[in-house]
Structure 1
């Protein structure tokens, strides 16, 4: 058999383009394509397998196998040679298929007479769509040119599949971007929202994968690459001169853009029949496959640089960039693979909801989404490939579920849920000005968490009595360099102004772990959550801590000031941080600046070790705020970013609740004000149990204050306390069942 030369490869692509241009239904088109490929490559068999769901491939068309097997033969990913190609996204080329590891005999197809096998993935930028296979009776390996030809054909098939060219019978041929589909992710921020999709980075659609004039395509490519290089050079020239790390990243970025090998490979792809856009995508896919499996973490990280450059180049070539005139819908739900805090803040409160394909419950995006009170679902795998701008979408942040292009019945049920939520909020508004006072006369102070100026209007509307936690790190995360002291002082002053005299507890810079400043080199730590973060960074980088403390003192300008230090693990850390604050107050006094009317200094108790600190700690601290999110993960040794374990342990577990009760007792013995801050404080049942064990201040997101207050005002804490104490002594693992049973009987 003659080899498939470069000119023959181009001929095959051109014949494929002409075949795709012919009228016909999806199945008819696929059948013509398998016949064309088998004929052009002179093989006895050509078969196309497409995914019918995430784990199953379906034979959708064949030339040479039993036609009755079409839409009947299915296999799991990893099963057989076809399943191996799908699982690894790598070609398999063998002259003796039956002897290959994992070979699966399928009698319904009649394939046992074919010795040679070449299978390549049908994929677009890492998103697998299926497998393209050719087979022949002759026992031989296919040549490099033949492998290349089949790979570029598979790439064109992927593009056309995305464009809906093969819609037809069978689940695998249902319409991409048209069918109703749902995604299950993780809860990043509770709430529900309905709206229209707005893609943060719209997928570039390549509508012309095959080209007739290679010389013209090469010229288009070179012009686009020249534009790309200029833009990268401009970014480098604008980078801060003293920001060594940022410049190193951009230099690596520039190295990719100016790579002669990258340009040469794309030109070779064009010479073999691809358009400039298709050549860019092909090299992007090849590099993705190579870098994703690289053992070197640095090389894997460079994948993001290459992806970004390739996408920029594609937008230049296609004119599908952000400046094409597309308008954001009036009810936007943002869809992104991932997004930084600065980019998310730029959208602001215009967003109805956010869905991320990656991300985590503790990511920057989740922090900002909570600050903005926008429903967020994270880890919605595959949604950026499926969603299109303008698609109808429903986001259920309570359950971590997203409905894309929902059916009428789903829309109706979701509308009912939102109506019930709105009705409940109306009920809560009627008690907004009333205290959270229980039936037996205990008064619970409900405060709100904040991190942005935009949060402060919620202080009055929610009925919160103050701000129990103001996250100061957001102002550091969204800038490319350390904020200036004067800018921070002005911001903190505006926060105090907006609070209207109500208490605001400013948490000092809480960075590290998942919160990495763009201008600070991230240490290579095996477990960042247990590493160099929060107060540890502050005590090591004293200059930054001092600057922030000076800004807070000046912002107070004669008003009361409340400062708390995060992630304190031992008494000495609190003493050292408190001494820094007192020295800065003395310094400000010597400079003649107005001092705060009073100063409260507290600590966040987020590590179990601090609960066992010497009594002197409890005596010295003006207040202690339990940081429930971190404390819970360390108590149970369950990473809160790990979906497999974070829901495994109950907040109302007897061991954990007993531990919290001990903290309450130690704080009470020293007369130290104690509060609980975190997501669990905003869950009514948990909040009621915290109040029952003696906590008198809870801090939560503004939207949770109404539901928590509503339940507390209907509760006799003495009765609740008896139920909890009985559960403690019963041997139960959690008090939740007993408390819920008591509430049902009470109602």
Structure 2
């Protein structure tokens, strides 16, 4: 039945975690602390610094307590994301900048910390990669925790949300700690003013399969505790106090969605195989061990992309070998017996790790980043190589290297890898002597010489996001150019074909770990091109597998041969849509 005080307002946000859910709202205070800047005297500086450091210590103690409580309730595999927030609290740059503002600007501790946060946010705003740009939210959440201790504001815990009915949490923002504390028996979804699809809270919501819509900007101002709302985590739509007709409509959609999900789960343990017997590996892109249960639960056959950037996030110095080894070992053990493919550091260097001290770049997308950064800092790179090698003794591990542009680069990488292996042998440290190595194909030069690069490695993994961006000279984060970001552009399709053909001619696998891999409508194209492995978000795997099991590889190859004859992306898209309607329509419901 619809809400008694129906007004049927619709808001559009960002679908962060799929699913449709209907319930009553509970407003949770996660609003930002209002800070009033006050001038202080030189004599008051020591007291303000002490107050700041005391709040920092309290925030750390609080987070450690949350971690202990969660370890008892959920087990240690769910805690890695909290370690990133503890690292931020330990960050010497956070402390140093805030203390400097207090001493030099003679402002109160709250204002000094806010200024430090503004500096962090300014840096992150300049990062081209959306995934890494979202990490600024972690800093903001940690700073807010410290500020609350400064001003004496208690923060309610979501562990207290235990009600007879089903509750949807509404908040300005939610931290990863908040998400992990949610009792799924009581909380059936959440909506927030802030957030993006690649924030850690969104990642955890998907991993825990809690429907969520974020980035609604003003949702907390539109709601009152007790309101009935509908959230559609797939489309990002939120309906406030729905009328009876809308309620019934979404109830049917919810039942249909849940039916489809149950049907898709039937594919979880079935082989990812076409009707004519072609076997494709379907794996997951992950960052935290918390994502592994969801990946296994959706039928993932391993990790096709393990992003290691979070280990280097906002650190005063790069993480040491033991820290990295423990992280990789946790992931390998959690994914066993399936393989884990670890990508080495794939970031620009400026300020991401304070110790790097690289100059500002006018065009960081074309600057010192990814493998270029690693080769300029072999001291940092070798530590990562050693840690990955050590983890390979625990299970099936592959490693691959981002932004390779030529043969000379990969040979230099291989030389450093051999040095790391030799060191471990001398120390008597175990590792997989036959560990496979690969490269990301994401820039045009790598496509053009793919045949030469294929002789040097054991597999290719195509990063379609960057390959499309670099091939078409399109900044995919620029909303004014979004219509020109075309995965089906003939130049992109020809590039993908060149990569697969070169890989197979050399007897190695060709994989994709970009967004194209998880888009079901692209599957006939990727299958026809001959890719051996697709790596994607865990929740996309069952749907892709369902479609794959109804496809015929020979027919897909014919489809690609036709698609390659067209001159524009729109022509390819129209043709693909007509083929899907004619042959695969029932698979795309």
Question: TM-score scaled to structure 2, two decimals?
Answer: 0.73
1:187–1:397: 8 Å Cα contact kept in structure 2?
A: yes
**Which structure: greater helix fraction?**
2
Q: Deviations over 1:544-600 (max 9, x none)?
A: 322222222222226443111123233333222232222111100001112215210
CA distance in 2, matches of 1:242, 1:461: 35
Q: Determine whether 1:720 maps to 2:552.
A: no
Alignment of 1:403-422 (within 5 A): 403-422=239-258
2:305–2:341: 8 Å Cα contact kept in structure 1?
A: yes
Q: Determine whether 1:641 maps to 2:477.
A: yes
1:513–1:530: 8 Å Cα contact kept in structure 2?
A: no
CA distance in 2, matches of 1:446, 1:742: 23
Gap change, CA 1:660 and 1:584, over 3 Å in 2: same
Q: Determine whether 1:322 maps to 2:155.
A: yes
One of 308, 320, 323 as aligned partner of 1:472: 308
Aligned residue in 2 for 1:108: none
Q: Determine whether 1:184 maps to 2:17.
A: no
Aligned residue in 1 for 2:538: 702
If you compute each CA radius of gyration, which structure gives the higher value, 1 or 2? 1
Following TM superposition, by how much is the alpha carbon of 1:619 offset from its aligned partner in structure 2, in angstroms? 0.8
* Aligned partner of residue 434 in structure 1, secondary structure: coil
Alignment of 1:252-263 (within 5 A): 252=100, 254=102, 259=107
Gap change, CA 1:395 and 1:575, over 3 Å in 2: farther
Aligned residue in 1 for 2:330: 494
Following TM superposition, by how much is the alpha carbon of 1:608 offset from its aligned partner in structure 2, in angstroms? 2.4
2:15–2:234: 8 Å Cα contact kept in structure 1?
A: yes
1:329–1:390: 8 Å Cα contact kept in structure 2?
A: no
Aligned residue in 2 for 1:737: 574
* Aligned partner of residue 569 in structure 2, secondary structure: coil
Alignment of 1:4-403 (within 5 A): 181-187=9-15, 190-194=18-22, 196=25, 199=28, 201-202=30-31, 231-235=51-55, 245-252=93-100, 254=102, 259=107, 321-322=154-155, 327-328=160-161, 355=191, 357=193, 360-361=196-197, 377=213, 379-387=215-223, 392-403=228-239
2:403–2:443: 8 Å Cα contact kept in structure 1?
A: yes
1:559–1:597: 8 Å Cα contact kept in structure 2?
A: no
CA distance in 2, matches of 1:194, 1:476: 39
Q: Deviations over 1:45-95 (max 9, x none)?
A: xxxxxxxxxxxxxxxxxxxxxxxxxxxxxxxxxxxxxxxxxxxxxxxxxxx
2:194–2:216: 8 Å Cα contact kept in structure 1?
A: yes
* Aligned partner of residue 469 in structure 1, secondary structure: strand
Aligned residue in 2 for 1:424: 260
Following TM superposition, by how much is the alpha carbon of 1:678 offset from its aligned partner in structure 2, in angstroms? 2.5
Q: Kindly tell me the number of residue pairs found equivalent between the two proteins.
A: 521
Q: Determine whether 1:632 maps to 2:468.
A: yes
CA distance in 1, matches of 2:90, 2:559: 61
Aligned residue in 1 for 2:321: 485
Q: Highest relative contact order (Cα 8 Å, sep 6+), 1 or 2?
A: 2
Aligned residue in 2 for 1:664: 500
2:403–2:441: 8 Å Cα contact kept in structure 1?
A: yes
Alignment of 1:521-600 (within 5 A): 524-557=360-393, 559-600=395-436
Following TM superposition, by how much is the alpha carbon of 1:603 offset from its aligned partner in structure 2, in angstroms? 1.1
1:360–1:366: 8 Å Cα contact kept in structure 2?
A: yes
CA distance in 1, matches of 2:456, 2:235: 42
Gap change, CA 1:200 and 1:569, over 3 Å in 2: farther
CA distance in 2, matches of 1:704, 1:505: 19
Aligned residue in 1 for 2:131: none
Gap change, CA 1:406 and 1:720, over 3 Å in 2: same
CA distance in 1, matches of 2:362, 2:26: 37
Following TM superposition, by how much is the alpha carbon of 1:507 offset from its aligned partner in structure 2, in angstroms? 1.4
Gap change, CA 1:458 and 1:204, over 3 Å in 2: closer
Gap change, CA 1:314 and 1:182, over 3 Å in 2: farther
CA distance in 1, matches of 2:545, 2:479: 30
RMSD: 4.7
Unaligned runs of 5+ in 2: 39-44, 61-86, 127-137
Aligned residue in 1 for 2:133: none
1:229–1:258: 8 Å Cα contact kept in structure 2?
A: no
* Aligned partner of residue 399 in structure 1, secondary structure: coil
Gap change, CA 1:561 and 1:444, over 3 Å in 2: closer
* Aligned partner of residue 155 in structure 2, secondary structure: coil
Comparing 179-188 with 232-241, greater Cα deviation is found at 232-241
CA distance in 2, matches of 1:557, 1:636: 41
